[in-house]
Structure 1
Amino acid sequence: MKQDEGNNKDDILQQVVAAMQEKKAKDIVHLDLTALPDAVTDYFVICHVSSKTQATAVYDYVLEQVWKNCKEHPYHREGYENAEWILIDYVNVVVHIFLEEKRKFYHLEGLWADAKITNHSEE
Protein backbone atom coordinates (compact mmCIF):
# COMPACT_ATOMS: atom_id res chain seq x y z
CA MET A 1 0.00 0.00 0.00
CA LYS A 2 1.41 3.37 -0.99
CA GLN A 3 0.18 6.81 -0.06
CA ASP A 4 -0.91 9.39 -2.62
CA GLU A 5 1.76 10.96 -4.76
CA GLY A 6 0.91 14.09 -2.76
CA ASN A 7 3.09 12.51 -0.06
CA ASN A 8 6.50 13.85 -0.98
CA LYS A 9 8.66 10.86 -0.23
CA ASP A 10 11.83 12.75 -1.14
CA ASP A 11 11.05 15.47 1.43
CA ILE A 12 10.34 12.82 4.06
CA LEU A 13 13.60 11.05 3.18
CA GLN A 14 15.51 14.33 3.51
CA GLN A 15 13.95 15.13 6.89
CA VAL A 16 14.63 11.63 8.24
CA VAL A 17 18.30 11.75 7.23
CA ALA A 18 18.76 15.26 8.64
CA ALA A 19 17.14 14.25 11.94
CA MET A 20 19.40 11.19 12.21
CA GLN A 21 22.46 13.32 11.50
CA GLU A 22 21.42 15.91 14.09
CA LYS A 23 21.13 13.20 16.76
CA LYS A 24 24.52 11.70 15.79
CA ALA A 25 23.27 8.37 14.46
CA LYS A 26 25.97 6.27 12.81
CA ASP A 27 26.35 4.79 9.31
CA ILE A 28 23.21 6.42 7.88
CA VAL A 29 22.21 4.96 4.54
CA HIS A 30 19.12 4.86 2.41
CA LEU A 31 18.22 2.04 0.08
CA ASP A 32 16.33 2.96 -3.08
CA LEU A 33 13.96 0.05 -3.68
CA THR A 34 11.95 1.66 -6.49
CA ALA A 35 13.48 -0.53 -9.20
CA LEU A 36 12.78 -3.77 -7.33
CA PRO A 37 9.47 -5.34 -8.36
CA ASP A 38 8.57 -6.95 -5.02
CA ALA A 39 9.66 -4.11 -2.73
CA VAL A 40 7.26 -3.15 0.03
CA THR A 41 8.26 0.53 -0.04
CA ASP A 42 10.29 3.00 -2.08
CA TYR A 43 13.01 3.75 0.48
CA PHE A 44 14.53 2.19 3.57
CA VAL A 45 16.54 4.56 5.76
CA ILE A 46 18.85 2.73 8.15
CA CYS A 47 21.11 3.87 10.95
CA HIS A 48 22.50 2.58 14.21
CA VAL A 49 23.11 4.12 17.60
CA SER A 50 25.11 3.23 20.68
CA SER A 51 22.34 3.12 23.29
CA LYS A 52 18.61 2.67 23.79
CA THR A 53 18.44 6.26 25.03
CA GLN A 54 19.93 7.50 21.77
CA ALA A 55 17.59 5.23 19.78
CA THR A 56 14.53 6.81 21.37
CA ALA A 57 16.00 10.31 20.92
CA VAL A 58 16.51 9.67 17.19
CA TYR A 59 12.99 8.23 16.92
CA ASP A 60 11.42 11.23 18.68
CA TYR A 61 13.35 13.72 16.56
CA VAL A 62 12.51 11.96 13.28
CA LEU A 63 8.79 12.10 14.16
CA GLU A 64 9.07 15.75 15.17
CA GLN A 65 10.96 16.87 12.06
CA VAL A 66 8.83 14.95 9.56
CA TRP A 67 5.66 16.34 11.12
CA LYS A 68 7.06 19.88 11.34
CA ASN A 69 8.37 19.98 7.77
CA CYS A 70 6.18 17.51 5.84
CA LYS A 71 2.98 17.34 7.92
CA GLU A 72 3.12 13.53 7.87
CA HIS A 73 2.41 11.14 10.72
CA PRO A 74 3.67 7.56 10.41
CA TYR A 75 1.31 4.91 9.14
CA HIS A 76 2.82 2.42 11.61
CA ARG A 77 5.60 2.27 14.18
CA GLU A 78 7.02 -0.37 16.45
CA GLY A 79 9.96 -1.26 18.66
CA TYR A 80 10.01 1.87 20.81
CA GLU A 81 9.46 -0.08 24.02
CA ASN A 82 12.64 -2.16 23.84
CA ALA A 83 14.50 0.34 21.60
CA GLU A 84 16.79 -2.25 20.01
CA TRP A 85 15.22 -1.96 16.53
CA ILE A 86 12.73 0.85 16.05
CA LEU A 87 10.71 0.96 12.84
CA ILE A 88 8.82 4.02 11.59
CA ASP A 89 6.66 3.39 8.51
CA TYR A 90 5.73 6.40 6.38
CA VAL A 91 4.53 3.96 3.67
CA ASN A 92 6.89 5.21 0.93
CA VAL A 93 9.76 5.66 3.40
CA VAL A 94 10.47 3.09 6.12
CA VAL A 95 12.90 4.11 8.84
CA HIS A 96 15.04 1.61 10.79
CA ILE A 97 16.90 2.70 13.94
CA PHE A 98 19.05 -0.10 15.31
CA LEU A 99 21.37 -0.72 18.19
CA GLU A 100 24.67 -1.55 16.48
CA GLU A 101 24.68 -5.27 17.34
CA LYS A 102 21.08 -5.70 16.11
CA ARG A 103 21.94 -3.98 12.83
CA LYS A 104 24.86 -6.35 12.28
CA PHE A 105 22.65 -9.34 13.09
CA TYR A 106 19.76 -8.43 10.75
CA HIS A 107 21.95 -6.85 8.02
CA LEU A 108 19.09 -5.33 6.00
CA GLU A 109 21.54 -3.95 3.46
CA GLY A 110 22.49 -7.53 2.61
CA LEU A 111 18.89 -8.70 2.37
CA TRP A 112 18.15 -5.90 -0.11
CA ALA A 113 21.51 -6.09 -1.92
CA ASP A 114 19.92 -5.28 -5.30
CA ALA A 115 18.88 -1.84 -4.06
CA LYS A 116 20.88 1.29 -4.79
CA ILE A 117 22.53 2.35 -1.51
CA THR A 118 23.34 5.97 -0.71
CA ASN A 119 25.55 6.75 2.29
CA HIS A 120 24.64 9.86 4.33
CA SER A 121 27.18 9.51 7.13
CA GLU A 122 29.28 12.51 8.01
CA GLU A 123 32.70 11.06 8.68
Structure 2
Amino acid sequence: MTATDRALQLVAEAALAADDKLAHDIIAYDVSDVLGITDAFVLASAANDRQVKAIVEEVEARIARELGEKPVRREGERDGRWVLLDYIDIVVHVQHSEERVYYALERLWKDCPVLELPGEVAEQSRGRRAAADPSEESGTVVGFPGAAGGDL
Protein backbone atom coordinates (compact mmCIF):
# COMPACT_ATOMS: atom_id res chain seq x y z
CA MET A 1 0.00 0.00 0.00
CA THR A 2 1.23 3.50 -0.73
CA ALA A 3 -0.01 6.96 0.04
CA THR A 4 -3.06 7.96 -1.99
CA ASP A 5 -3.01 10.72 -4.59
CA ARG A 6 -5.11 12.85 -2.22
CA ALA A 7 -2.58 12.35 0.57
CA LEU A 8 0.23 13.38 -1.80
CA GLN A 9 -1.68 16.56 -2.71
CA LEU A 10 -2.12 17.38 0.98
CA VAL A 11 1.57 16.69 1.64
CA ALA A 12 2.60 19.03 -1.17
CA GLU A 13 0.37 21.88 0.02
CA ALA A 14 1.43 21.45 3.65
CA ALA A 15 5.11 21.49 2.67
CA LEU A 16 4.68 24.58 0.49
CA ALA A 17 2.81 26.37 3.27
CA ALA A 18 5.45 25.52 5.85
CA ASP A 19 8.15 26.64 3.43
CA ASP A 20 6.34 29.97 2.91
CA LYS A 21 6.65 30.61 6.66
CA LEU A 22 10.36 29.66 6.65
CA ALA A 23 10.05 26.30 8.39
CA HIS A 24 13.18 24.21 8.32
CA ASP A 25 13.87 20.48 8.08
CA ILE A 26 10.62 19.82 6.22
CA ILE A 27 10.23 16.14 5.43
CA ALA A 28 7.35 13.79 4.64
CA TYR A 29 7.09 10.05 5.22
CA ASP A 30 4.76 7.52 3.63
CA VAL A 31 3.54 5.65 6.72
CA SER A 32 0.66 3.88 4.98
CA ASP A 33 2.31 0.45 5.24
CA VAL A 34 2.83 0.66 9.00
CA LEU A 35 -0.17 2.71 10.15
CA GLY A 36 -3.76 2.07 9.27
CA ILE A 37 -4.97 5.48 10.41
CA THR A 38 -3.13 7.79 8.00
CA ASP A 39 -1.05 7.70 4.83
CA ALA A 40 1.65 10.28 5.50
CA PHE A 41 3.37 12.40 8.11
CA VAL A 42 4.73 15.84 7.35
CA LEU A 43 7.33 17.16 9.81
CA ALA A 44 8.50 20.77 9.98
CA SER A 45 10.53 22.74 12.52
CA ALA A 46 10.45 26.31 13.70
CA ALA A 47 12.87 28.41 15.72
CA ASN A 48 10.31 29.67 18.25
CA ASP A 49 6.72 29.29 19.46
CA ARG A 50 5.44 32.23 17.42
CA GLN A 51 6.82 30.72 14.23
CA VAL A 52 5.27 27.34 15.06
CA LYS A 53 1.88 29.05 15.28
CA ALA A 54 2.45 31.00 12.04
CA ILE A 55 3.38 27.82 10.17
CA VAL A 56 0.32 25.99 11.51
CA GLU A 57 -1.98 28.85 10.49
CA GLU A 58 -0.47 28.95 6.99
CA VAL A 59 -0.79 25.18 6.55
CA GLU A 60 -4.45 25.33 7.56
CA ALA A 61 -5.19 28.34 5.36
CA ARG A 62 -3.40 26.98 2.29
CA ILE A 63 -4.95 23.51 2.47
CA ALA A 64 -8.41 25.02 3.00
CA ARG A 65 -7.92 27.43 0.10
CA GLU A 66 -6.28 25.04 -2.37
CA LEU A 67 -7.93 21.72 -1.49
CA GLY A 68 -11.02 22.64 0.53
CA GLU A 69 -9.94 20.57 3.54
CA LYS A 70 -9.93 21.43 7.22
CA PRO A 71 -8.20 19.39 9.92
CA VAL A 72 -10.46 17.05 11.86
CA ARG A 73 -8.26 17.54 14.90
CA ARG A 74 -5.71 20.10 16.06
CA GLU A 75 -3.60 19.42 19.15
CA GLY A 76 -0.89 21.27 21.06
CA GLU A 77 -1.93 24.75 20.05
CA ARG A 78 -1.97 26.16 23.58
CA ASP A 79 1.73 25.56 24.23
CA GLY A 80 2.87 26.25 20.68
CA ARG A 81 5.83 23.87 20.97
CA TRP A 82 4.44 20.95 18.96
CA VAL A 83 1.21 21.33 17.03
CA LEU A 84 -0.39 18.41 15.27
CA LEU A 85 -2.90 18.85 12.44
CA ASP A 86 -4.85 15.70 11.55
CA TYR A 87 -6.32 15.66 8.04
CA ILE A 88 -7.09 11.91 8.19
CA ASP A 89 -5.04 11.23 5.02
CA ILE A 90 -2.02 13.02 6.49
CA VAL A 91 -0.87 14.29 9.85
CA VAL A 92 1.21 17.47 9.97
CA HIS A 93 3.63 17.90 12.89
CA VAL A 94 5.03 21.39 13.40
CA GLN A 95 7.59 21.35 16.19
CA HIS A 96 9.81 23.82 17.97
CA SER A 97 13.38 22.85 17.07
CA GLU A 98 14.11 21.64 20.61
CA GLU A 99 11.10 19.28 20.58
CA ARG A 100 12.11 18.02 17.14
CA VAL A 101 15.53 17.00 18.41
CA TYR A 102 14.22 15.57 21.70
CA TYR A 103 11.42 13.44 20.23
CA ALA A 104 13.33 12.53 17.02
CA LEU A 105 10.31 11.37 15.02
CA GLU A 106 12.65 10.70 12.09
CA ARG A 107 14.17 7.87 14.08
CA LEU A 108 10.74 6.29 14.56
CA TRP A 109 9.85 6.48 10.88
CA LYS A 110 13.30 5.96 9.33
CA ASP A 111 12.22 2.71 7.66
CA CYS A 112 9.31 4.39 5.90
CA PRO A 113 9.75 5.83 2.41
CA VAL A 114 10.47 9.54 2.25
CA LEU A 115 8.00 11.37 0.01
CA GLU A 116 9.24 13.81 -2.58
CA LEU A 117 8.40 17.41 -1.76
CA PRO A 118 7.59 20.02 -4.39
CA GLY A 119 10.33 22.08 -5.99
CA GLU A 120 13.15 23.07 -3.73
CA VAL A 121 11.23 22.86 -0.43
CA ALA A 122 13.43 20.21 1.19
CA GLU A 123 16.69 21.84 0.10
CA GLN A 124 15.58 25.32 1.17
CA SER A 125 14.37 24.13 4.56
CA ARG A 126 17.65 22.29 5.24
CA GLY A 127 19.54 25.41 4.16
CA ARG A 128 17.55 27.49 6.64
CA ARG A 129 18.52 25.11 9.42
CA ALA A 130 22.21 25.30 8.51
CA ALA A 131 22.10 29.10 8.32
CA ALA A 132 20.35 29.32 11.70
CA ASP A 133 22.86 26.98 13.36
CA PRO A 134 26.50 27.68 12.51
CA SER A 135 27.54 24.40 14.15
CA GLU A 136 26.08 22.60 11.15
CA GLU A 137 28.72 21.11 8.89
CA SER A 138 28.26 20.53 5.16
CA GLY A 139 24.46 20.39 5.33
CA THR A 140 24.30 17.64 7.95
CA VAL A 141 21.39 18.10 10.32
CA VAL A 142 22.48 17.31 13.86
CA GLY A 143 20.17 14.90 15.67
CA PHE A 144 18.25 13.78 12.58
CA PRO A 145 19.35 10.29 11.50
CA GLY A 146 19.41 9.83 7.75
CA ALA A 147 19.18 13.55 7.06
CA ALA A 148 22.80 14.08 6.01
CA GLY A 149 23.44 15.81 2.69
CA GLY A 150 21.31 14.29 -0.03
CA ASP A 151 19.82 11.35 1.87
CA LEU A 152 16.41 12.96 1.86
**Short-chain TM bin:** 0.7 to 0.9
- Contact kept, 8 Å, 1:29 with 1:121, in 2: the verdict is no
Q: Distance in 1 between matches of 2:78 and 2:123?
A: 26
Query: How far has the Cα of 1:114 moved from its partner?
Result: 1.5
Query: How far has the Cα of 1:72 moved from its partner?
Result: 0.3
- Contact kept, 8 Å, 1:21 with 1:121, in 2: the verdict is no
The aligned residue for residue 30 of structure 1 is 28
2:69 aligned partner, one-letter code: E
- Bigger Rg, which one: 2
Query: How far has the Cα of 1:94 moved from its partner?
Result: 0.2
1:28 aligned partner, one-letter code: I
Specify which structure has the bigger relative contact order, considering alpha-carbon pairs within 8 angstroms and separated by 6 or more residues.
1
1:59 aligns with 2:56: yes
Q: Distance in 1 between matches of 2:38 and 2:123?
A: 22
Matches within 5 A, 1:1-123: 8-36=6-34, 38-118=35-115, 120-122=122-124, 123=127
Q: Percent identity?
A: 28
1:48-79 CA distance string (max 9 Å, x none): 10011100000000000000000001011111
Q: Distance in 2 between matches of 1:105 and 1:39?
A: 26
Query: How far has the Cα of 1:121 moved from its partner?
Result: 3.6
What runs of 5+ residues in structure 1 fail to find an aligned partner?
none
Q: Distance in 1 between matches of 2:33 and 2:92?
A: 19
Q: Distance in 1 between matches of 2:110 and 2:11?
A: 20
1:14 aligned partner, one-letter code: A
RMSD, matched Cα: 1.7
Q: Distance in 1 between matches of 2:123 and 2:23?
A: 8
Return the TM-score normalized by structure 1: 0.88
What runs of 5+ residues in structure 2 fail to find an aligned partner?
128-152
